[in-house]
Amino acid sequence: EIELQKLQLESQNKSSDHSTPYFDVTKHIRMVPPFQEREVDKYFLHFEKVAKNCNWPKESWTMLLQSVLLGKAREIFSQLTVEDSGEYDTVKRLILKGYELVPEAYRQKFHILGKSSNKTFVEFAQEKAQLFDRWCTSENVENKYDRLPNQLKAMLQRAPVLSAPDFSRPFKLAVDASDIAAGAVLLQEDDDGIDHPVAYFSRKFNHHQRNYSTVEKECLALILALQHFDVYVSSAGVPIEVFSDHNPLVFIHRMKDKNQRLLRWSLILSEYN
């Protein structure tokens, strides 16, 4: 209350200049929105919107703001000097810093946030987008960068767009295997030499397949991918170029006589070029 009286006196002294009309803070306090300690950053945006709509002079914003501050925000404000407590931007910056709502904190939260099992992808995307928006807002991102999220969404929606297969051109097959699953992409080059996806494939390994060695899993990934894309590659009559972390073709060729499984895989591969 003492600080409020000091600030009011300073404001009255400033308003004594005939060029600046007197602003009665007490008549506007009831219009100040209640402080939301759980969403401090959103509160400041709301407060600033109300202040501008009500045409409050900015030099009076801190007097109005301090009347509703609670908890940590009130403690931070009470520790400020009279000069700093009269500067709205300083008060806002220090309170946000006290709540760890500064750009660096948002950046870390944005990068650390991962999808938990109890969240849907939509909920995860919404939470991620909210953190990204708060990060941009705290950084005072210029308007020319506001369109970047929409541009990014558009790029994700456009590329990579599946291309129709051209059976006169060779196919490329990129395969990979992890400890628990296999994945593959069927590709074709366009006239400019750029690879475009034709189709995707993925499948989890069963309990027995998870016990295979690493190179055997790569071999299995290749076999499963070829069987999945058979409708494309068997009709083409053109060579298939395979990309893999290991050399599954060489392994199968060398080891096909060691057990029935590898021999079976070798026979399947013999149907393709």
Write out pLDDT tens, residues 120-176.
Answer: 888 888 888 877 877 776 666 655 566 777 777 776 666 667 888 888 888 999 998
Tokens representing 1 are: 């209350």
122: buried, middle or exposed (CB in 10 Å: 19+, 13-18, 0-12)? exposed
Helix H or strand E encompassing 8: helix 2-15
For residue 164, give the DSSP letter: P
pLDDT at residue 7 is higher than 80 = no
> Higher-confidence residue: 47 or 259?
47
**What mean pLDDT, rounded, does the chain reach?**
79
Amino acid 268: pLDDT: 80
pTM surpassing 0.85? no
Out of 3.30.420.10, 3.40.5.90, 3.90.1640.10, 3.10.20.370, the CATH code matching 171-271 is 3.10.20.370
SS3 242: strand
3-class secondary structure for 88-127? HHHHHHHHHHHCCCCHHHHHHHHHHCCCCCCCCHHHHHHH
Cα distances (angstroms) measured from residue 112 to each of 75, 143, 156: 30, 26, 21
Amino acid 8: pLDDT: 56
At 218-228, the pLDDT tens digits run: 888 888 998 89
pLDDT at residue 12 is higher than 60 = no
Of 24-33, 100-109, 122-131, 221-230, which gets the smallest average pLDDT?
Answer: 100-109
d(CA 262, CA 181): 19
What are the start-end ranges of the E strands in the chain?
A: 171-177, 181-189, 195-204, 240-243
At 37-76, the pLDDT tens digits run: 777 778 888 888 888 988 888 888 888 888 888 888 888 8
pLDDT band (50, 70, 90) for residue 200 = very high
14: buried, middle or exposed (CB in 10 Å: 19+, 13-18, 0-12)? middle
Amino acid 18: pLDDT: 47
Mean per-residue pLDDT for 84-110? 79
> Higher-confidence residue: 123 or 253?
123
Numbered ranges of CATH 3.10.20.370 in the chain = 171-271
